[in-house]
Amino acid sequence: MLIALAVSGRGVVDPDEPVVFADDEGFLRGRAAFETTRVYGGRPFRMDEHLERFANSAARLNLPPVDRALFHGLTAEALAAASEPDCFVRLYLTPGREGGDEPVSLVLVESLPPELEETRARGIRVISLPFGLETSLLGGVKSTSYALNMVAVDEAKRLGGDDAVFLGPEGVVLEGPTTNIWWRSGDVLYTPALELGILQGVTRGALIELAVDLGYEVEVGVYPLSALAEAEEAFTSSAVREVMPVVALDGRPVGDGAPGRAARGLQEALRRCASAG
């Protein structure tokens, strides 16, 4: 739920107020960049990394450059207005109105989904779906053209799952519609390589560091779906849902069908790291 909103040129506005015109190219064509970052104790997690990825997405979409100072300011104002220390923020940059040259920068503060911890304790079921990411000009870009990602989640639900995992040509594992995917065999953690055109998750980057501290080896590569299906446990990573155990793939249990030890350990480590600042 949207709890606060800040907009370039205006600052904090009522979240129920319209702030984007009907002929904004972000709306008309889905050409806009965005970022989502979780806020712990009033502080956005790894904001500079999110702004770096945001700037790259904007450049790849041929948008005007991201004004980092503006986004820092709008985020601070919106978080102060929200007065909710544990939440998440979404940053948006649109090119603005068709034929105009006034980009629109938006910061949305949202409350966390209430069912998150219950879902983490239970784990999620994922369904594999084909997706041709690496042939795309926009592989790895966080643009608002997420219709396919959202419809993939609907399709996974229709097939009895909670979320999807995308497969590239020849069935290689890519990522979820809004997450990166991981699995474990023994003390080795596996996650697909960025060269596949997947998003460079900020949470993925944090977990690669934290996993090593917990004694896991991390292997990044190109893997078939069978590697995930035969793993001892699996999980997804993302800013809002953090480390989410995956307990079933295509209707069959992953490992013993329960959340695993790496997911638990990494979730705890991520929280420790986030609260340390």
Ligand X SMILES: Cc1ncc(COP(=O)(O)O)c(C=O)c1O
Q: Which residues bind ligand X (CB under 6 A)?
A: 36, 175, 178-180, 199, 201-204, 237-239
- Select from 168, 173, 261, 177 the least CA-distant residue to 220: 173
Residue placing its CB nearer to ligand X in the complex, 105 or 179: 179
CB 16 within 8 A of CB 4: no
Residue placing its CB nearer to ligand X in the complex, 96 or 245: 245
In the complex, what is the shortest distance from the CB of residue 100 to ligand X, in angstroms, rounded to a whole number? 28
As a whole number of angstroms, the distance between CA 208 and CA 189 comes to: 9
CB of 91 to ligand X, least distance (A): 12
Radius of gyration (Cα) for the chain, nearest Å?
19
Rounded to an integer, what distance in angstroms lies between the CA atom of residue 223 and that of residue 237? 18
CA 51 to chain centre: 14
Give the nearest distance from C-beta 170 to ligand X in angstroms.
Answer: 20
Please state the closest distance from residue 198 (CB atom) to ligand X, in A: 6
CB of residue 201 vs ligand X: minimum separation in angstroms? 3
For ligand X, the closer of residues 10 and 271 by Cβ is 271
Q: Which residues pair with 40 in a beta bridge?
A: 43
Our CB check for ligand X shows the closer of 94 and 203 to be 203
Nearer to ligand X, 55 or 81 (CB): 55
88 touches 63 (CB < 8 A): no
Rounded Cα distance, 1 and 189, in Å: 34
Q: Which residues contact 18 (CB under 8 A, 6 or more apart)?
A: none
